[in-house]
Structure 1
Amino acid sequence: MTIRYEWRGDIDNSALNALHAEGFDHPVGRTDWRTRLQRHSLGWVCAREDDRLVGFVNVAWDGGVHAFILDTVVARHSRSNGVGATLIKVAAEGSRTAGCEWLHVDFEEHLRPFYFDACGFRGTVAGLIAL
């Protein structure tokens, strides 16, 4: 399996909607990812096996030194092969190159080993308000 990673890679809305639905267990949506990413994101990383989208992560930012990981997703058949960790690594490199000094991530507890052990994040104190 040869995977190609692209910082700010070309987005096909249909492919990303299908991958997002598979990864987050919801019906396939009709989100205009291309417009959303161009409008709100510092960058994103696409992982492709041949021409098939098998991984994605969005990197939002505050316009300054803080970048934020969102929507990390890997196709089922590509999981447990380091694709997710490499997505985060490429996202960190792209964020660093853009002048960011911090990369933040929020996650559900069951993802702690992935983000802490595989990706190198460390714990911080944070707060959250459900809206």
Structure 2
Amino acid sequence: MRINWGTGLVIGMALFISFIMFFIITMSTDKKYSYDLVAEDYYKKELQLQEDIDAATNEAELKTPVIGTKTKAGYVLQFPETFNPKNITGKVFLYRPSGKQLDFDIPIELSTSNLLIPDNRLLDGRWNITVNWEYEGKKYHFQKAIIY
């Protein structure tokens, strides 16, 4: 049996469309290819953006801003030493882009100007650290991407 070029073209197009449909259905239904959103409540976070920008501006105006360094014990955040550590409040949010289940918060409760994030809480790889803190009614925002 001989197939002419028109029939071959139709068969080729049908096979291509079948492959594409198989690929789309597999990618949309298989749990292995499921990815988390960066944030579940991203609309709410968008509304808070101007407040974060103002707090980041306050952070930039400090003579000694928050400094983060990696040590053997973990990751140390050093707050300005001119501030009374007992009056600093807020939280540290650590975001792991590769897995939502690794994200966590740490409340800021200081007795010295340093806050240690323990080594056992941080896996090797990329982390985004966001520090939202307040001192005497003024808000500050520090954000940094690190490779731990």
Q: After TM superposition, is the score higher than 0.5?
A: no
Which has the higher Rg, Structure 1 or Structure 2? 2
- TM-score normalised per structure 2: 0.25
- TM-score normalised per structure 1: 0.27
